[in-house]
Amino acid sequence: MLIKAEKLGKVYGSGENKVTALHRADMEIAEGDFISIMGPSGSGKSTLLHILSGLDFPTEGKLSYDGQDICKMNDRELSAFRRRRIGFVFQQFHLLPVLTARENILMPLLLDRKKEDRAYLGELAELLGISGRLTHLPHELSGGQQQRVAIARALIARPDIIFADEPTGNLDSKSGGEVMRLLAEIRRRMKKTLVVITHDSQIAQMADRRFVIMDGMLSEEGVTIR
């Protein structure tokens, strides 16, 4: 899957409250890419990720997945598209507190009325080191374990691409490092595209292509601006 962003812009609010969060961002994401986007707080990282993943619309520019303009899809098409093709990992895990780890992981399949694949769930749990935690509720798990459950949930519908917004932001450096190593390893083994937002330069260095964003201006490291 080729993702092509052309001159994406995002303006929030109007008049005195106007904020240009993203300014004419160009980006091409090829299948299997491992990309990091680094920038300080408030630089537009989440805005860019939300737009790239179809969670929000740009106020300017164009975004296509394999030539298909996703801004032209209706809500139902777009949410089905996201459920099937895209996996999300958030800083705050976003697990449902009353569901077990296993139920949380299976939620995307439930929403899509798909049958669970026991073998695949077992494989993911094994890879992520949470096989013994599947019947636990989120509050019975450590932060690192909760994030690994969230990663399994992001992968359960076999998406092509994973978007992670500061996946280690709520973790100490040891479990954060572990979560990143697992994400990178799974991406390699399962041949996924991975886009990770971070403000940690060590994490950014793990990626093959590195972008930096400052005040809504995006640039790729090692690539001169035309």
Q: Which amino acid is at 206?
A: M
Is residue 46 near ligand ADP by the rule CB under 6 A? yes
Under rule CB under 6 A, which residues in 115-154 are in contact with ligand ADP? none
C-beta contacts of 67-74 below 8 A and 24+ residues apart: 67/2
Quick one: what does residue 42 bind among Mg ion, ligand ADP, none, with the CB cut-off 5 to 8 Å set by partner type? ligand ADP
Alpha carbon distance 191, 152 (integer Å) = 15
Structure token pair of residue 169: 């932001």
Is residue 46 near Mg ion by the rule CB under 5 A? yes
Stretch near ligand ADP under the rule CB under 6 A, chosen from 12-20, 93-101, 104-112, 153-161? 12-20
Stretch near ligand ADP under the rule CB under 6 A, chosen from 40-48, 59-67, 155-163, 175-183? 40-48
Residue 216, phi then psi, degrees to nearest 5: 80, 0
Structure token pair of residue 179: 């979560």
Alpha carbon distance 169, 161 (integer Å) = 20
Nearest residue (CB) to ligand ADP, 130 versus 204: 204
Q: How many beta carbons lie within 10 A of that of residue 201, not counting itself? A: 11
Q: Which of 8, 23, 44, 141 binds ligand ADP (CB under 6 A)?
A: 44
Binding residues for ligand ADP (CB under 6 A): 12-13, 19, 21, 39, 41-47
